[in-house]
Amino acid sequence: MRQKMTFERNIKDGILTVLELSEVDPGVVMPLHEEDYDLREIVEASGQGLEQFKAVLRRKSLFPTHDLCAKLFEGTKGFFKNESEEKITIEYNDTESFPVEEEFHLEESDVELDALLDEDGDTKEDEIKEIDSEDDTPKFTPEDTSEHEN
């Protein structure tokens, strides 16, 4: 899920407003949640490191993952140091937190698929005819009282 986190500071009131937006459909972004913080407190927390920033940022109503907190922390370092900036938006795609898959390489020493197919998949035409020759139609007699009668 793609997210946008907007940090907007109101220096006059000493408030930092964090707005969480999410892409609900391709190209359609909707606001999810807005949270206000004490500007001085979050600026101090940002200066003390990721763990302190994460502790101040997380609340019951806004609880970003560790990966998102790390990205927000890195993205807002300059924002909090530069007091002339009023607003910053950080984009995050949660697929960034997935582990990177290793690319598969087939080596010469690996088992050959063709050899496996030749071993197990070799059926003669006579064997196929023999399997198909039986009548698979279910037969029921009047004495049969099973639940599966026609």
Measure the CA–CA gap between 16 and 50, rounded to whole angstroms: 18
- Whether residue 108 lies inside any domain: the answer is no
pLDDT digits (tens, 9 = 90+) for 23-74: 988 889 999 999 999 999 999 999 999 999 999 999 999 999 999 999 999 9
- Whether residue 144 lies inside any domain: the answer is no
Domain housing 20: 2-97
pLDDT digits (tens, 9 = 90+) for 96-126: 777 777 777 766 655 666 666 655 555 666 6
Report pTM.
0.64
Measure the CA–CA gap between 64 and 59, rounded to whole angstroms: 9
pLDDT digits (tens, 9 = 90+) for 66-101: 999 999 999 999 999 998 999 999 999 888 777 777
E-strand ranges in the chain read: 2-10, 15-25, 28-38, 87-93
Higher pLDDT, 124 or 6: 6
Torsion-angle region of residue 49: left (phi > 0), alpha (psi -120 to 50) or beta?
left
Number of domains in the chain: 1
Between the two ends of the chain, the Cα-to-Cα distance in Å is: 52
Residue 94 DSSP class: G
Distances (CA, A) of 10 to 1, 13, 37, 80, 139: 29, 6, 10, 12, 83
- Whether residue 31 lies inside any domain: the answer is yes
The amino acid at 10: N
